[in-house]
Amino acid sequence: SLPRHLFYYFVDHPMVTRDEIFSIFWPKMAVKEATNVFHVTKRKISERLGHELTNYSSGFYIHSPKLHIHYDARLFEESVDEAIENEIDAPHLYYRAIQLYRSDFLPYISMPWVEERRAALQQKYAQALINLGRYYLGINDLDVALGYLMRAISVKPDWEDVHQDVM
């Protein structure tokens, strides 16, 4: 599981230092030992992919230019961020974001970095649902609005203002 977890970390973090990696994966290990485990693990990933996942440049591990990453979590976040900045296209962008969010982020992994990332993505998902629900409230399409708002409540049941919107 270690190579898979490190792979997920690299995909989710396009620019990361060795110290950051070590603090996440081997916080109690001496630097020499952590370096050895890191390089062995990284080599296993590269062997599986058939080429390097990362390049090392100026103190950072960055995605290899040989790698083309289609990453739904990043596309989801870009859609939400763009919707926040672009009010005119916001409904379309929130809808696209909601379609990209198929399930919680890496649901079977319980590492702290994954749990934090999962919570942040879930927060953005709930906000996209709420914003789209409120958009439909504003144009008086109550059935569609109710659907989005109820989905938001299922994700974040403690948000009282969403309950008020539903009522």
What pLDDT sits at residue 68? 85
User: pLDDT digit string (tens) for 139-162?
Assistant: 999 999 999 999 999 999 998 999
What pLDDT sits at residue 128? 97
Within 10 Å of residue 28's Cβ, how many Cβ atoms? 6
Which residue matches tokens 């970095």? 113
What pLDDT sits at residue 159? 87
Q: What is the DSSP string of the chain?
A: -HHHHHHHHHHH-SEE-HHHHHHHH-TTS-HHHHHHHHHHHHHHHHHHHTS-SEEEETTEEEE-TT-----HHHHHHHHHHHHHH-TTTHHHHHHHHHHH--S-SSTT---HHHHHHHHHHHHHHHHHHHHHHHHHHHTT-HHHHHHHHHHHHHH-TT-HHHHHHH-
- The DSSP bridge pattern shows strands 15-16 and 54-57 to be unpaired
**Which is nearest to 126 in space by CA: 137, 136, 134?**
134
User: pLDDT digit string (tens) for 8-59?
Assistant: 999 999 999 999 999 999 999 999 999 999 999 999 999 998 889 999 999 9
Average pLDDT over residues 100-128: 96
Average pLDDT over residues 56-77: 92
What pLDDT sits at residue 67? 84
8 A C-beta contact, residue 103 and residue 121: no
User: How many whole angstroms separate alpha carbon 42 and alpha carbon 100?
Assistant: 29
